[in-house]
Structure 1
Amino acid sequence: MQPNLYMPAPVCLIENDENGRLRVRKEAKDILDGINEPVVVVSVVGLYRTGKSYLMNRLAGQQSGFALGSTIESKTKGIWMWCVPHPNKEGHTLVLLDTEGLGDVAKGDSKNDGWIFCLAVLLSSTLVYNSRGTIDNTAVEKLHYVVDLAEQIKIRSTAAADDEEEGEDSDSWRVKCICSAGNATWVVRGFTLDLEIDWKKVTDDDYLEFALNMRKGVSKKIRDYNLPRECIKRYFPSRKCFVFPFPATSHQDMTRLEILQDQDLAQQFMEVTGHFCDYMFVNSDVKRLQGRHIVTGQCECFTK
């Protein structure tokens, strides 16, 4: 990333206006407009107050930045952005997107949650899906709902592109967003179970694939069970899973992650955090559009 665009802290990319509609902040748009090199876009989504911002700070190579907070109140509103030089890919910018937590009781707006989630899917080259405790059916169905919504937007955008070629007026900016995330990393926080299936030890990835396994049969109940799993596996052909233990044993330490040193956190938690960051740096691809065109910060899919 160009030196004059160094960001010492995140800025708000997407916010709700006075009418509750989502809009792009000019400050963030100006920063993106100045990035003319390929971008690797990593976004994180999940329930509020589950540690999403901590992971984004670690990917930025910082102890703090994205707001963590230590109370039940959600700190991140909308979508916040932090652009940093990619640590592994010279001449590339790592764009980190931290999203408003889903299910915030103070906001109580599931429709807004859905659009925030959907934007994160469409904008990212790698989606980090943060869940708590286990990979349960509710989390699977929620991801399926958003993936289905994103696919509907892609279909509508394709139709808009066809109209545009015929000279008809269309929302052409939407065409720029036609691209599945492709890569998904499922992060399970506060995992306390044994990684065993049928009395055999399994890996984190095995656990994810087990949760996405489809059942045999043709009944409506089985079809309803299989549909979200089939959709997720098709939309995210590349999948990875990390299970994180609790970062600390005491409640006091859990609320002070922003100021604790690495040696003050649980060793296993820090090991998983290191593996997670290494994996993301190596395996998160450059953001591409339909036709495999490489995206820079100047692409309209970020700034319209």
Structure 2
Amino acid sequence: MATAEEVSMEAPICLVEKRNEKLMVNQQALDVLISITKPVVVVTIIGKDHTGKSYLMNRLSGKNTVYSRDPIVQSQTKSIWMWCVDHPSEHDHVLVLLETKGLGHVEKADSKNDLWIFALAILLSSTFVYNTVNDWDLEQMHYVKEVTKLMEVNSFLNDDDEDNSYLQEYIHHFFPDLVWVMHKFTEKFHLLICPISPDECLENVLKFRTGKDINESKANLSRECIRRVFIKRKCFQFVLPAKRKIQLSYSDYIQESEMVPAFKHQADNFCSYIFSNAKPKRFIDNIMINGNRLGKLLEIYVNAISSRSDLLLNNTMLALAQTENSAAVHKATNHYIEQMVLKVNYPMDTLQDLEKLHTDCEKEAISIFQKHSFRNDRNKFWKELMKILENQKNDFILRNEEESTKYCQTKLENLSQTLRKAISQGTFSVPGGYKLYKEEREKMINNYHQEPRKGIKAEDVLQRYLQSLTMTEASILQTDQALTDQEKALEAERVKREAAEKEKKRLEQQQMEMQQKMEAQQRNYEVNTNQLKKKMEEDRIQILRKQEMILHHKLKEQERLMNERFCEEAEKMKRQMEHLQTKIKEIENKGSSWWSTVLQTVGIVLMVLLPGTGKLIGLGMMALGKWTSK
């Protein structure tokens, strides 16, 4: 975990800039960003230069001594600057402040680069601060509409396409909360102020305007787009910062002592709202974004801009999901291996003990995978993880067998020294020697059985060792002249019977081990199936809640449109809500079909991973999944 000192910065640094007609990521700033492992709250301040953006950034960063123009405003390029500081109230979060430079300059007129900067500001933010002076400037906010085009989500915003539910579900993960900041810099500004709260005034500004003027029509498109993509909106209005007359551009240095109390109070309220309400940046599946993931997102977006001049929503999600799901598999696998290495004490006495440890560690690994993975291709990576864990388990079983074999062979080598010495010295080559031999051999076996923690190969190693003595035993028996021919025959038969019993015992042990493996695999299947079923149900409920929120938002929009007598728009909204209600009902009834998919998927995994009877279980689960989906 990165510490506060590692992520804190004394001054902002350029994160993205236009270089050689392309947007480029500053590697030094990217290194700072990707080193942050805590969740990040990303607040972006955008607007024309010389309008107080740097002051707001200074206040949010805790540097509020001087109200002045930042020297970096003189930058000769369009850019995004970054300032990472510790969050003042959420100590396990990092506040990432972004400020745009060079937008709206006449001498730097470049609408395409302005759009790219604007798009990056929106896509990277969890809270988007639009800073204006004197009037409700919708000029730059028309880029919101263009951003939706770049993200290929216009079907969601403008028509009744029944195939856009996927975009509807994810659109609000990409668009941040909106905070509109208005600075009152003219004496005539009171003519623009409504006798209502700033939030109500903002909503009035975003209402449709009647008239056939083409500029008004464009503004209406911007208003409509803003209302739909920025579900949460807040407005702050600032008075003049000082009593003395100043220019509109904040070009004078204003000391703290010169600021009027009302201005300082409004600045405090703005900062308090941001600190309390700006949420951590999240992505699909409600996954929290840390600095490392934010850096990856930034690189994906900038590469998309550089290569295709567009930002494809699906491609972005797929690219990040591929990276993050691969990392989730790696993280889950490492956790499994670390825990198994920590908990397995070689040699384990029974296969059941090892299987139990595997089940516990596998369950933790799956939880880690689900926590860090994205829904995109999750089943594909889940199957990959299960295959890896199964192979890792087999490696642990194999090593446990090897350690048990090695340990038992060493013990037998030490315990049989007296027996081997007596054989080499001819101690048993006398009348009654075979009986003496058996007594010495049984003594060695009893001592071996009393040795603790020999592992699952204890009996197998012993039997193989005793089989190696078969010819020696026969030789001792033949030389034992004290036994009669009949006694010799009986003894030989007993030896064969004993050998047969021992072989039978060894085979039964192998059969029991195989049965234990199959039982453990069945238990693991049940645990994993329950986990996956629970996660799929949680995903379904999350989607349902998101759809209901969108339906509630559209209901409010329809009511507003009816009140404003935009009947055609209201009827269009009604059709969208009816379609959305149908989608919600489909999601509510989707539980059984989702579970049948899980059964069939798990059945396929079992067919791949399990031997013998396990394949029959997999076939059964696939058949049950197909029957459930009917």
Same fold at TM > 0.5 = yes
Whether the aligned pair in 2 keeps the contact of 1:69 and 1:255 (CA below 8 Å) is: no
State the alpha-carbon separation in 1 of the partners of residues 226 and 51 from structure 2. 22
Name the structure, 1 or 2, with higher relative contact order (CA <8 Å, separation 6+).
1
State the alpha-carbon separation in 2 of the partners of residues 65 and 234 from structure 1. 38
In the alignment, which residue of structure 1 is the partner of 2:230? 236
| Distance 1:292-1:61 versus aligned 2 partners, 3 A rule | same
Query: Any unmatched runs of 5+ in structure 1?
Result: 157-175
In the alignment, which residue of structure 2 is the partner of 1:83? 84
> Of 235, 244, 248, which aligns to 1:250?
244
- AA in 1 matched with 2:145: D
| Distance 1:72-1:55 versus aligned 2 partners, 3 A rule | closer
Counterpart check, 1:9 vs 2:11 = yes
State the alpha-carbon separation in 1 of the partners of residues 120 and 292 from structure 2. 17
User: SS of the counterpart of 2:28?
Assistant: helix
Q: Give the C-alpha shift of residue 101 in structure 1.
A: 3.8
In the alignment, which residue of structure 2 is the partner of 1:142? 140
User: SS of the counterpart of 1:152?
Assistant: helix
User: SS of the counterpart of 1:214?
Assistant: coil
When Rg is computed on C-alpha atoms for both structures, the one with the higher figure is 2
State the alpha-carbon separation in 1 of the partners of residues 208 and 201 from structure 2. 14
Q: How many equivalent residue pairs? A: 274
Give the aligned CA root-mean-square deviation in angstroms.
3.1
- Give the structure with the larger strand fraction: 1
| Distance 1:111-1:265 versus aligned 2 partners, 3 A rule | same
| Distance 1:153-1:71 versus aligned 2 partners, 3 A rule | closer
| Distance 1:220-1:107 versus aligned 2 partners, 3 A rule | closer
- Give the structure with the larger helix fraction: 2
State the alpha-carbon separation in 1 of the partners of residues 237 and 16 from structure 2. 29
In the alignment, which residue of structure 2 is the partner of 1:206? 200
- AA in 1 matched with 2:140: K
TM-score (norm 1): 0.80
Whether the aligned pair in 2 keeps the contact of 1:133 and 1:189 (CA below 8 Å) is: yes
Whether the aligned pair in 2 keeps the contact of 1:32 and 1:297 (CA below 8 Å) is: yes
Deviation string, structure 1 residues 245-292 (Cα, Å, up to 9, x no partner): 1212335795344x612x321211111101100001111111111222
Q: Give the C-alpha shift of residue 53 in structure 1.
A: 0.8
| Distance 1:64-1:32 versus aligned 2 partners, 3 A rule | farther
State the alpha-carbon separation in 2 of the partners of residues 223 and 43 from structure 1. 28
User: SS of the counterpart of 2:269?
Assistant: helix
In the alignment, which residue of structure 1 is the partner of 2:262? 268
State the alpha-carbon separation in 2 of the partners of residues 251 and 237 from structure 1. 38
| Distance 1:113-1:121 versus aligned 2 partners, 3 A rule | same
State the alpha-carbon separation in 2 of the partners of residues 118 and 65 from structure 1. 31
Whether the aligned pair in 1 keeps the contact of 2:73 and 2:101 (CA below 8 Å) is: no
Q: Give the C-alpha shift of residue 77 in structure 1.
A: 4.5
User: SS of the counterpart of 1:298?
Assistant: helix
Query: Any unmatched runs of 5+ in structure 2?
Result: 154-169, 301-630
Q: Give the C-alpha shift of residue 149 in structure 1.
A: 2.4
State the alpha-carbon separation in 2 of the partners of residues 274 and 188 from structure 1. 15
Whether the aligned pair in 2 keeps the contact of 1:70 and 1:255 (CA below 8 Å) is: no
In the alignment, which residue of structure 1 is the partner of 2:542? none
Whether the aligned pair in 2 keeps the contact of 1:13 and 1:79 (CA below 8 Å) is: yes
Counterpart check, 1:184 vs 2:184 = no
> Of 267, 280, 285, which aligns to 1:291?
285
| Distance 1:72-1:147 versus aligned 2 partners, 3 A rule | closer
| Distance 1:210-1:255 versus aligned 2 partners, 3 A rule | same
In the alignment, which residue of structure 2 is the partner of 1:62? 63
Whether the aligned pair in 1 keeps the contact of 2:43 and 2:125 (CA below 8 Å) is: yes
Q: Give the C-alpha shift of residue 230 in structure 1.
A: 1.6
- AA in 1 matched with 2:119: C
TM-score (norm 2): 0.40
User: SS of the counterpart of 1:16?
Assistant: strand
Counterpart check, 1:152 vs 2:146 = no
Q: Give the C-alpha shift of residue 188 in structure 1.
A: 0.8
State the alpha-carbon separation in 2 of the partners of residues 247 and 239 from structure 1. 24
State the alpha-carbon separation in 1 of the partners of residues 95 and 238 from structure 2. 23
State the alpha-carbon separation in 2 of the partners of residues 122 and 249 from structure 1. 38
State the alpha-carbon separation in 1 of the partners of residues 30 and 270 from structure 2. 29
In the alignment, which residue of structure 2 is the partner of 1:113? 114
Query: Which aligned pairs between 1:160-175 and structure 2 lie closer than 5 A?
Result: none
Q: Give the C-alpha shift of residue 215 in structure 1.
A: 4.6
Whether the aligned pair in 1 keeps the contact of 2:18 and 2:77 (CA below 8 Å) is: no
State the alpha-carbon separation in 2 of the partners of residues 16 and 49 from structure 1. 20
Whether the aligned pair in 2 keeps the contact of 1:67 and 1:76 (CA below 8 Å) is: no
